[in-house]
Structure 1
Amino acid sequence: MEFSFDEKDFASCCGSTKFAKEMASASPFRSFQDAVSVAKGVWFNSVDVNGWLQAFSAHPQIGQTHAPSVASEASAQGIRKWILCNKMWSKGEQSTALATATGSSLQELSEWNARYREKFGFVFLICAAGRSTDEILAELKRRYTNRPIVEFEIAAQEQMKITELRLAKLFSSRENISSSVDKYSAAKKAEDRISIIGGHVTAASEISTAKLIHHPARTRPPITTHVLDVSQGSPAAGIEVLLEVWRGTQSRPTFGASGGGSWVFQGSSTTDLDGRSGQLLSIVDDVNPGIYRISFNTGKYIPNGFFPYVSLVFEIKESQKREHFHVPLLLSPFSFSTYRGS
C-alpha cells in the first residue's frame, strides 16, 4: 500500500516551504519509515539556513496554540487547513508542561524565552519528554550559553524530532492504514507527554524515537560533515575534506607511537556554499566499525590562520554501525571545535 500526501499535509508537519514541496514531490511513500527517511534527507541536506529559520518561526510562542504566520504558497484553503491542524497538535503538545507549571515558573520561562529569542533570533526548541517545568527551565538556561552556530544546529535537530512525530500522526490519520504504520500509533499517545515552552518545547525522547523508527534505509552517507566559519558567522565554502579509516595489525592508532597500521583513504570532497561536504562514503546501511579521521585543508581557506590543517579522529563501535555520524567543524583563524551532530 502506498500513502500519498500533498504539500499542505507536509506543511502541517514542518513550516519550511522547501521541505513541504520536496516531500510532496517524493510522495507517495511505501510506509511511515520510508517517509521519515526521506524527510531526514530533505531536512538536513536540501533545506538551507533560511528554510530552517522559516520552520522555527512557524512554532507558537508561549501560551499560543498556533504560529502568527507561515510563509507558504498554498491556497487560502490550504493555509486554513494548516492552521487548524497545527493549532490542534500544538494544543495537545503543550498540555503537560503547562499543566505542571506554576504561575511563577511560567513567568520565568517566558522571561528566559524572551532572552533566548533576543540572543539567537528564534524560539526555544527542546526534547522534553518526562521533564518537569524546572528541568526545562534549567536546560533553557544551560543552552542559552551556547554559541549561536552550535545552538542553531541543536534547534534543527529538535525540529526534525517534532516533524517525525507529526508525520506519524499524519500517517495514522489515514483510513485503512497499513500494519507497518499501526505500530507507530503510540506517537498519538506521546502527544500527552509532549511539551512546548517558549517556541516549541517538544517530546520524543531518544527511547521513544527508537521505538518509532527501526533503522530506515539511509538516504545519505553514514559519515557527513560541514564547516562553519565562526569568525564570519557564515558557512565555510571551498574547504577540501578528506575521510580516512585506520587499518593495520593494531586495531587502533596508539597515542604517541607509530607503526602497526596506517590511514586508508575513504573519500574526499569540497564544502559547498552552505559549508556542507559532498559524499565522503558510500550510502550503506551498515558502516564498518573502526577509527575514522576527517581532515580539513584549513590552511588553504585561512592562509594566515594558526592551523595548516585540522584532523578530527573518532570511533564507530560495533553497536553503532547503523547510526549516523555527523562531525562538523566550527572554525576561526586561531581556534576550532567540534561535536557529534545528527
Structure 2
Amino acid sequence: MATLRPLTVEDVLRVNGSRRFAAALAAASPFDSLANTLLTARRIWLNEVDVTGWLEAFAAHPPIGTTSSSVSKWSKEEQSAALSTATDSTAQELSEWNAKYREKFGFVFMICASGRTAPEVLAELKRRYANRPIVELEAAAEEELKITELRLAKLFSAETAAPPTSGENHISQPDKAACSSNRTRPPITTHVLDTALGSPAAGIEVHLEMWKDASSPPSFDNKEFKGWTTLGTSITNNDGRSGQLMDIVDNVAPGFYRISFNTSKYAPSGFFPYVSIIFEIKRSQTTEHFHVPLLHSPFSFTTYRGS
C-alpha cells in the first residue's frame, strides 16, 4: 500500500487555496491511500471550512478561459479542452458571462472544467447564473471540491511509485476523476440555515425516513402516514450540517423519502413545531446526489434541491 509523505500547508495550497483547509488536511496527513486522502479532504471541506474559506479558495482560480502566463500548470491542464474548442466568439462570450457572473455573485465562476468543451462550460455558466446566491455558493463549493479531488489525485500519483489499487479508490488515471467520482458521502444529505440570523442553525435534530408501503405510496389524501421507516437521525453541527443519515451506497433505492427537522427546540417561540420535507427519487435518478437543505426562520421556511 502506497503512502503519501506528510503534507505541508504549501503542498495543499497548490490543491486548494483555502488556508483553513490546507492547515487541516496537512495536520491530518500522512495518508495510506488516495481513498483516505479524498475522504478526509471532503470531510474537512464540507464540515470544517466556512464560507470565508470557500471564497478564499475560489479566489485562487483564474476565470474560465483565461490564457494569461500567470495561470498555474494545473489550471491550464484542467481548462485545456475548453481552450482548444473555444472560437473567438465563444471566448468573447465566456469573458462577458464571467464578468456578469462575478458582478452578481461576487466570486469567480467555479467549474470542474477538465474534459469539458467551451460550449459546454458556457452553457453551464448561463444555467447557473439564474441561481439564487445561496444555491450558487453551494454549487461553486461542490465544483471546488471536485477540482480539489482531481489535484489530490495528481499529487498522490506524483508522490507514489505505484498507482492506487482498484480497492483503494476509483481513480487510476487522475484526469478521469475530474468531474465524476464514486460516492464519498451518503446519497441524501441536508443542512439548515437560520435565515433570520443569517447563520447556520446548530443543534437541530434531523430524521431521514423512507416510505416502505409499496402497496400505497404517500399522497395528499393519506389519512395516516404509517408507512415511514427511519433510516437515520442526526444533530446539525456548528455549520448547520447533519451527520450521516444513511449508508454510503452507489445506488440509492428509488421511492419516497422524508426529512424532518425538530425546529421546536431550536426556535420554541416560532410558528412551526417541526418541518417535514417529502420528496421522490425516481428509478432514473438512483445514481444522483440529493442535497435537501432547510432555510428556516421563526415564521417561514423554504427548501430546494441542492448539490
Q: In the TM superposition, what are the counterparts of 1:287-326 in structure 2 within 5 Å?
A: 289=253, 291-298=256-263, 301=267, 303=269, 307-315=272-280, 325-326=290-291
**1:16–1:322 Cα change, 3 Å:** same
* 1:197 alignment counterpart: none
- Name the aligned partner's letter for residue 90 of structure 1: S
Query: Aligned equivalents of 2:217 and 2:132: distance in 1?
Result: 33
Q: What's the offset of the Cα at 1:157?
A: 0.7
* Contact residue 38 and residue 152 of structure 2 kept, 8 A: yes
Q: Aligned partners of 2:74 and 2:4: how far apart in 1?
A: 21
Distance change (3 Å), C-alpha of 1:129 and 1:248: same
Q: Which of 168, 182, 199 is 2:153 aligned to?
A: 168
Q: Which amino acid aligns with 1:281?
A: L
Matches within 5 A, 1:107-186: 107-128=92-113, 130-180=115-165, 184-186=171-173
2:245 counterpart residue number: 281
Normalised by the length of structure 2, the TM-score is 0.79
Counting matched residue pairs gives 298
- Structure 1: gaps (5+ residues): 68-86, 191-202
Distance 2:228 2:219 in 1: 13
Deviation, structure 1 residue 59: 1.0
CA distance in 2, matches of 1:204, 1:242: 33
Partner of 1:26: 28
Secondary structure of the structure 2 residue equivalent to 1:241? strand
The yes-or-no answer on 1:336 pairing with 2:288 is no
Q: 1:162 to 1:319 in 2, by over 3 A?
A: same
C-alpha distance in structure 1 between counterparts of 2:84 and 2:214, whole Å: 59
2:82 corresponding residue in structure 1: 97
Q: TM-score, normalised by structure 1?
A: 0.72
Gaps in structure 2 of 5+ consecutive residues: none
Change (3 A) 1:179 1:287: closer
How far residue 152 of structure 1 moved from its aligned partner, in angstroms, is 0.4
Q: Is the 8 A contact 2:257 2:279 kept in 1?
A: yes
C-alpha distance in 2 between matches for 1:145 and 1:317: 25
Deviations 1:119-138 (A, max 9, x none): 21211012445544233223
Residue 67 of structure 2 corresponds to: 63
> What does the per-residue CA deviation read over 1:189-247, in whole Å, with 9 as the maximum and x for residues that have no partner?
x5xxxxxxxxxxxx934xxx34xx4x5xx5x6664311124465432345443333334
Is the Cα contact below 8 Å between 1:31 and 1:180 reproduced in 2? Answer: no
2:81–2:114 Cα contact (<8 Å) kept: no
Per the TM alignment, residue 58 of structure 1 is displaced from its structure 2 partner at its CA by: 1.2
Contact 2:80/2:114 (8 A) holds in 1: no
CA distance in 2, matches of 1:96, 1:284: 32
Distance, in Å, in 2 between the alignment partners of 1:221 and 1:129 is 25
How far, CA to CA, are the matches of 2:245 and 2:170 in structure 1?
32
Give per-residue Cα distances to partners, 1:47-96, cap 9 Å, x unaligned.
Answer: 222211111111123334557xxxxxxxxxxxxxxxxxxx1211222333
The AA in structure 2 aligned to 1:146 is N
Q: Kindly report the root-mean-square deviation, in angstroms, between the aligned alpha carbons of the 2 structures.
A: 3.5
Which amino acid in 1 is paired with 2:30?
P
One-letter amino acid of the structure 1 residue matched with residue 128 of structure 2: R
In 2, the alpha carbon distance for the partners of 1:250 and 1:235 equals 39
- 1:125 is paired with a residue whose SS is coil
